[in-house]
Amino acid sequence: MPTEIPSLHAAFDNKFKIGAAVHTKLLHAEGEFITKHYNSITAENQMKFEELQPEEGRYTFEAADEIVDFAVGKGIGVRGHTLVWHNQTPEWVFQNASGAPASRELLLSRLKEHIDTVVGRYKGQIYAWDVVNEAIEDKSDLVMRDTPWLQLLGEDYLLQAFQMAHEADAEALLFYNDYNETDPIKREKIYNLVRSLLEKGAPVHGIGMQGHWNIHGPSIEEIRLAIERYASLNVQLHITELDLSVFQFEDRRTDLTAPTAEMAELQERRFEEIFQLFREYESSITSVTFWGAADNYTWLDHFPVRGRKNWPFVFDQHLQPKESFWRIIKG
């Protein structure tokens, strides 16, 4: 008799939500699989600024609506991603009618309009928003990332964005989201940024740790220190974009058609340890989202090496549970 496959999210039901990044095609093709294993979904791309408002005042909500309708219909939560980011945001946002840089006033009014329209549309249906994504610089001698938002609005843009989002939906949990969040130097910059936002009274309810990790690092200790540091601000933590690449970032090999035995084993061990750690901090961690649903598709197939297959999840390319699945649900 084939073993019954238990639901992934059910294994964590009284701890934290288990999410997947999705797109509408995946919901059409594999809606049942998603519903069985995940109780939170995030649009991988279809709620980004360029997808929702490609031209000023022309909103394209079809895909985003479908994702939200699917979730509401199945009783699944939605994490919104993302309102303010330097990527996948159209050029027009930062320009005035003559193509020169937009004034502070113009950009702030566009930001407010976008947030009001988008957050307002899904009021009560999206439990958490990544209000600002990746505002911190990776290089150690700089703090804020140099983006058009910073250049045109100054550092104040984060406070503004959080206030606008809170006005549009007072119930939604509002997150600052970033990657390399376990790096000690970047970790302190993120901590200081969120702390200063909180001191200014900004409605920031949580920190999103993206969790784009690999089978070698960061160490469990580094992840633990980051969780402890962020949790000390008394905000919720969401793991927002979890994947465990089988390659180190510098590894440029493109010849593999399956993970090696060593990769698979390391990945299993790491998934087990990482979810053990998440369980330890279940009073702070309220949601854990994978940046995909199964190994048949991941953004890592194209990043940082184009066309190099990756296998970063706990379900394989045929949506079957990998050994890692059994290790993480055991607890």
Least CB distance from residue 200 to ligand HAH, whole Å?
24
Least CB distance from residue 323 to ligand HAH, whole Å?
25
Binding characters for ligand HAH, 287-316, by CB under 6 A (x = yes)? ------------x-----------------
Closer of 40 and 133 to ligand HAH (Cβ): 133
What's the gap between Cα 95 and its chain centre? Answer: 28
| CA separation for the pair 157, 164 (Å, rounded) | 10
Closer of 43 and 164 to ligand HAH (Cβ): 43
Q: Amino acid letter at 110?
A: R
Catalytic residue among 44, 51, 181, 241: 241
Cα-based distances in Å from 77 to 114, 237, 284 = 22, 16, 18
Catalytic residue among 134, 167, 199, 265: 134
Binding characters for ligand HAH, 242-281, by CB under 6 A (x = yes)? ----------------------------------------
Residue from 16, 44, 78, 243 binding ligand HAH (CB under 6 A): 44
Alpha helix positions (H), the chain:
24-37, 49-52, 62-74, 104-121, 148-153, 157-168, 184-199, 220-231, 261-280, 323-330
Least CB distance from residue 330 to ligand HAH, whole Å?
29
> Could you say which residues in the range 173-202 bind ligand HAH, by CB under 6 A?
179
Closer of 166 and 212 to ligand HAH (Cβ): 212
199 is catalytic: no
241 is catalytic: yes
Closer of 67 and 108 to ligand HAH (Cβ): 67
Is 79 an interacting residue with respect to ligand HAH (CB under 6 A)?
no
Give, rounded to a whole angstrom, the gap between the first and last alpha carbons of the chain. 25
Is 212 an interacting residue with respect to ligand HAH (CB under 6 A)?
yes
Is 133 an interacting residue with respect to ligand HAH (CB under 6 A)?
yes
Closest by CA position to 79, among listed 161, 177, 212, 194: 177
| CA separation for the pair 174, 192 (Å, rounded) | 17
Helix (H) or strand (E) holding 319: none
| CA separation for the pair 192, 143 (Å, rounded) | 10
Least CB distance from residue 43 to ligand HAH, whole Å?
9
Cα-based distances in Å from 11 to 35, 74, 150, 294 = 14, 18, 42, 17
| CA separation for the pair 207, 221 (Å, rounded) | 19
Least CB distance from residue 288 to ligand HAH, whole Å?
16
Query: Tokens standing for 292?
Result: 């995909």
Closer of 15 and 216 to ligand HAH (Cβ): 216
Q: What residues are labeled active site?
A: 134, 241
Contact residues toward ligand HAH (CB under 6 A) are: 44, 133, 179, 210, 212, 241, 299
